[in-house]
Amino acid sequence: MPAWRIRDAHAEDLEAVVRLWERSRAAGVEPVYALAEVLTSATEDIAVVATAQDLIVGAAVARRAHNQAWVVFHGVDDAWHGLGIGPGLLRAVETRVAEAGPSTLSALVPGEQTHLDAFRDAGFEEKKAVRYLERRIRVQREEMVLLEELGGRVLPRGLWDGVAGMRHEKDLIERRLVLPLAEPALADRFGVAPPRAVVMFGPPGTGKTTFAKAIASRLDWSFVEVFPSRLAADPAGLAGALRDTFHRIAELEHAVVLIDEVEEIASHRRGDPPSPLQGVTNELLKLIPAFRERPDRLLVCATNFIRSLDSAFLRHGRFDYVIPIGLPDAEARAAIWARFLPPAAAQSVDVDAVVAASDGFTPADIEFAARRANQAALEAAVDGGDGAGPSTEHYLAAVAATRATVSAQVAGEFAEDIETFGRV
């Protein structure tokens, strides 16, 4: 029987580990651990190799995680099977793991791997009831640092589902934006170029920011909000700060970038002498094509005043869609009311009546009216001893006393804007 022996792996052995890892992959078995993982564990944790005739014919690598250690790689050259090398490697790993502290040594193997003899021979017990789940973490640590510098965030999951009502807008955004961005390969098969930049416009408080965040959450992408008013304070000046911000955004893997109140930096370029903001508008116009060249990012420019935007800014080729976001519909209003009603009132109040009465309200108007009603009920309870809490009447009275932010005139202009500027 050819002689073989096992020893600790050295730095020079890593190449052989790579070769063995690639071999198992070539045999059609997708390894559970990526090569980078295996090599990190080999250098920093536990690695042993089997040698025979001055060649490396097998290797096992493990990593410690508190009281448990994991075999992250185990492989033997085909020509050297059946000689006990596999179990020998595992036993050697076990000894080193025991010295390091952990009391359990575990292994995850690909489902396709049928022969587990080496593990059985080394005393491993197969746990049949186990299922393996994995999730790729989108935003990695290095990116987190950059994201923080940019004032960006990874938003919680589920914001998309939190956008109540607005079915028409949601459906549109889902199909035109989310689908091709989430499934670029599918989009490519149909010749659909995923969108890179969109404008969202609508009266104040209708949910433009909410939608931009929801898209980021839905796609599991980072979210960066650019505030022109804050960039203006930068010593590099607004144009310089904008350029710098975009250069850094280019380094993010996946990102939804929101420029809120974009009219502040992209208004009509006119006036003599030219307004100092013209340079900023020009800068933004230059930055967008470069932004569009990179995949896995979406620029959302939001504005309340689409009419005031420079016509060059909105031209075709720069923005894929110009999407109107209108006032919340009844379902959205109901969800927004629900946020501000105390639990007892949510049971007793005729919410449908309140929702109907607040037609034309923005979410902020609803919040204001709800506060007013709750406060009135509180005061009534203290003054008159009626502690029943806010009632339908309190809410209807508060709605009647609240002036809608979006006047009939603004609503009419918005309807015109949809005709003139909307592009979906």
Ligand X SMILES: Nc1ncnc2c1ncn2[C@@H]1O[C@H](COP(=O)(O)OP(=O)(O)OP(=O)(O)O)[C@@H](O)[C@H]1O
Binding site for Mg ion (CB under 5 A): 208-209
Tell me the two tokens of residue 316: 């075709």
Closer residue to ligand X (CB): 14 or 325: 325
Q: How far is the CB of 335 from ligand X (least distance, A)?
A: 5
CA dist 372 and 82 (Å) reads 80
Indicate whether 210 belongs to the interface with ligand X (CB under 6 A): yes
CB-nearer residue toward ligand X: 126 or 161: 161
> In whole angstroms, how close is the CB of 330 to ligand X at the nearest point?
11
Work out what residue 278 binds among Mg ion, ligand X, none; the CB cut-off runs from 5 to 8 Å by kind. none
> Of 101-109, 145-153, 203-211, 223-231, which part binds ligand X (CB under 6 A)?
203-211
In the numeric block, the tokens 């090599």 are attached to 39
Contact status: 304 vs ligand X (CB under 6 A):
yes
The least distance separating ligand X from the CB of residue 371, rounded to whole angstroms, comes to 13
- When asked if residue 40 is in the footprint of ligand X (CB under 6 A), the reply is no
327 binds ligand X (CB under 6 A): no
Question: Which CB atom, from 267 or from 304, has the smaller least distance to Mg ion?
Answer: 304
Draw the binding track, 146-185, toward ligand X (x: CB under 6 A; -: no contact). Answer: -----------------xxxx-------------------
Closer by beta carbon to ligand X, 210 or else 222: 210
> Would strands 297-303 and 255-259 be described as parallel, antiparallel, or unpaired?
parallel
Answer whether 48's CB lies under 8 Å from 96's CB.
yes
The yes or no reply on residue 324 touching ligand X (CB under 6 A) is no
Residue 217's binding partner among Mg ion, ligand X, none (Cβ under 5 to 8 angstroms by kind) is none
- Answer for which of 106, 209, 275, 391 binds ligand X (CB under 6 A) is 209
CB under 6 A: which stretch of 82-90, 104-112, 202-210, 343-351 binds ligand X?
202-210
What are the residues whose beta carbons fall under 8 Å from the beta carbon of 342, sequence distance 6 or more? 374, 389, 390
In this chain, which of 255, 332, 354, 377 binds ligand X, going by CB under 6 A?
Answer: 332
Beta carbon of residue 204, minimum distance to Mg ion (angstroms, whole number) = 8
Work out whether the CA dihedral 163, 313, 282, 267 comes out positive or negative. Answer: negative
**What residues between 244 and 283 interact with ligand X by CB under 6 A?**
260
Q: How far is the CB of 356 from ligand X (least distance, A)?
A: 17
Identify the H or E element spanning 61: strand 55-65
CB 300 within 8 A of CB 200: yes
Is residue 204 near ligand X by the rule CB under 6 A?
yes
In angstroms, what is the minimal distance from the CB of 267 to ligand X?
Answer: 16
Query: CB nearest ligand X: which residue?
Result: 363
Give the H/E segment covering residue 259: strand 255-259
Distances (CA, A) of 43 to 13, 33, 37, 40, 90: 10, 15, 10, 5, 18
Asked if 323 touches ligand X (CB under 6 A), the answer is no
Pairwise CA distance, residues 256 & 194, whole Å: 13
- The answer to whether the CB of 51 falls within 8 A of the CB of 17 is no
User: For residue 136, how many C-alpha atoms fall within 13 Å in the half-sphere facing its CB?
Assistant: 8
Give the residue, chosen from 363, 365, 368, 406, that forms a contact with ligand X under the rule CB under 6 A: 363
In angstroms, give the least distance from the CB of 302 to Mg ion: 6
Rank residues 209 and 391 by Cβ distance to ligand X and give the closer one: 209
**What is the edge-to-edge ordering of all strands in the sheet holding 104-107?**
5-8, 46-52, 55-65, 68-76, 104-107
Name the one range near ligand X by CB under 6 A: 18-26, 206-214, 237-245, 387-395. 206-214
Minimum CB distance to ligand X smaller for 246 or for 337? 337
As measured in angstroms, the least distance from the Cβ of 209 to Mg ion is 3
**Spatial CA neighbour of 417 closest among 198, 202, 172, 168:** 202
CA distance 40 to 4: 26
Taking residue 146's Cβ as centre, other Cβ atoms within 10 Å add up to 17
- Report which residue's Cβ sits closest to Mg ion: 209
The two tokens of residue 214 are 């929801």
Which is nearer to ligand X, 100 or 364 (by Cβ)?
Answer: 364
Q: How far apart are CA 233 and CA 151, in angstroms?
A: 15
Q: Give the span between the Cα atoms of 298 and 291, in whole angstroms.
A: 9
Q: Edge-to-edge strand order for the sheet containing 197-201?
A: 153-154, 222-226, 255-259, 297-303, 197-201, 321-324
- Given 14, 59, 63, 206, the residue binding ligand X (CB under 6 A): 206
Catalog residues that contact ligand X under the rule CB under 6 A: 163-166, 204-210, 260, 304, 328, 332, 335-336, 363-364
